[in-house]
Amino acid sequence: MLRPGSILFIIMCFLALNAQAGLPTAIGGTPLPSLAPMLEQTTPAVVNIAARGTVVVRENPLLSDPFFRRFFNVPDRPRKRHTQSLGSGVIVDAAEGYILTNNHVIQHAQEISVTLRDGRRFAAKLVGTDPDTDVAVIRIAAENLSALPLANSDGLRVGDFVVAIGNPFGLGQTVTSGIVSALGRSGLGIGGFEDFIQTDASINVGNSGGALVNLRGELVGINSAIFARGGGSIGIGFAIPSNMARDIMTQLVTFGEVRRGLLGASAQDLTPALAEAFGIAETEGAVVVEVADGSPANKAGLKPGDIVTRVNRRPIRSASDVRNAIALLRVGQTVQLEILRNTKMLNLQAMITENRQQMVSGDNFHPRLSGAAFADIVEGSPLYGKLEGVVVLDVEANAPAARSGLRKGDIVTAVNRTRIRSMKEFQHLARKGGDALVLNVRRGRGSVFILIR
């Protein structure tokens, strides 16, 4: 027998359903606002991506020693681990089948599967990837594709309405809406080159690589990351601007990789204190702190103390803006620099040259570093101007350096407790280090000591 309260609840639900069914689509002949018409045109261009692959499981060098394993009865463990990831992608060229996505969606993938909005599924081919910007391009051979036009992301303003489209938690295509919360976000530790659009449109696991579009249905960003302590969306999401994604894609399609050029100058943020010391009213920009001899910057007339305010007419707010702008330029391209020097505005022009990173084998420094290759941190690297030391470009499997625990991507910052800033200092200290070397290594966001002997 139903209670009076239950009967009342059922009646209210019934009335609510009838009211919903009768909601008008227009008032006084004027259609009610809806995103549906725009989404009907854009959602077919957003795809679901499934990536499968394997990665080598790294372990302590002691665990690779057969004697150690037998003595301590260490059980055998698999040396490789299978990986799989779900994400999203955006078709940006229907004729060629090019799809933009995130590097972390397809990283280590040996098989990439793309599912379209209409249910069709295709095997995708990797065109190229750029971990420093977290951009990747894949390609499918398919007909009757829909593509999204790319907007000029430099025209975005805080407060603009945006819509995020992706595949959160593997549920299937999902649409959320919000606004642009901030622009030019950097220093988040997400990627090497950061210039993120921040939005409160819900972005969750699986949305990575999906589309952030404006109300015209144009692509303004590639959804990339969220800030969330619990793993879910709390209204702070980040997208790679479409202009950055477009420039990276052009190089990946043309060369299969990103070939970053060289300007030959380093800069730091213009702080209010520095602006006061320089006697200027500017509060945004980047102060040039060093110019390499014979570099394009040097030939263009750039000097330490100059304040860069624009690069190719794009406003510069910080040193990161300069680094990002130069990193997206190709070798041979001309760059226009607007600078402030002694309260006077000047226009300089420089031609970007090839960034040659000289790789040196470790056995030139110390016998125990055999099998490893090192290089200076050069301009174009996301670490340039942020960290001093030398970078490990490669480590051969089972080489002495690898058995000691050195890994590709490590940054050696000190040798036997003495800080180093260059390959020259590394070579000097390693050669006189004796039978054993203690390397202070920066790895990811942490640091470790590695004993080479």
Task: Please pick, among 130, 134, 200, 376, the residue that the annotation labels catalytic.
Answer: 134
Cα atoms in the 13 Å half-sphere on the side-chain side of 64:
14
How many C-beta neighbours within 10 Å does residue 413 have?
18
Element (H, E) at 372: strand 372-376
What residue type is assigned to position 441 of the chain?
Answer: V
Residues 6+ apart with CB under 8 A from 36: none
Per the CB < 8 A criterion, the answer to whether 138 and 115 are in contact is no
Provide CB contacts within 8 A for 267, sequence distance 6+. Answer: 286, 287, 288, 289, 308, 319, 322, 323, 385
CA distance 296 to 36: 51
Active site residue 153: no
The count of C-alpha atoms lying within 13 angstroms of the C-alpha of 284, restricted to the half-sphere facing its C-beta, is: 10
Amino acid at 403: R
Q: Is 327 helix (H, G, I), strand (E, B) or coil?
A: helix
Q: Which of 153, 186, 202, 208 is catalytic?
A: 208
Residue 269 · residue 287 · CB < 8 Å: yes
Contacts (Cβ under 8 Å, ≥6 apart) of 328 = 244, 247, 248
Cα–Cα distance measured from residue 110 to residue 54, given in angstroms and rounded to the nearest whole number: 8
The Cα-based distances of 22 to 13, 19, 26, 34, 204 in angstroms read 14, 5, 12, 17, 34
Q: Which residue has the tokens 């301590």?
A: 72
Q: Provide the token pair at 223.
A: 């959804």
Residue pair 43/35 in contact (Cβ under 8 Å)? The answer is no
Verify whether residue 208 is a known catalytic residue: yes
| Per annotation, catalytic residue among 88, 104, 224, 266 | 104
- DSSP β-bridge partners for residue 100: 90, 137
Q: Is 202 labeled as catalytic in the residue annotation?
A: no
* Catalytic residue annotation: 104, 134, 208
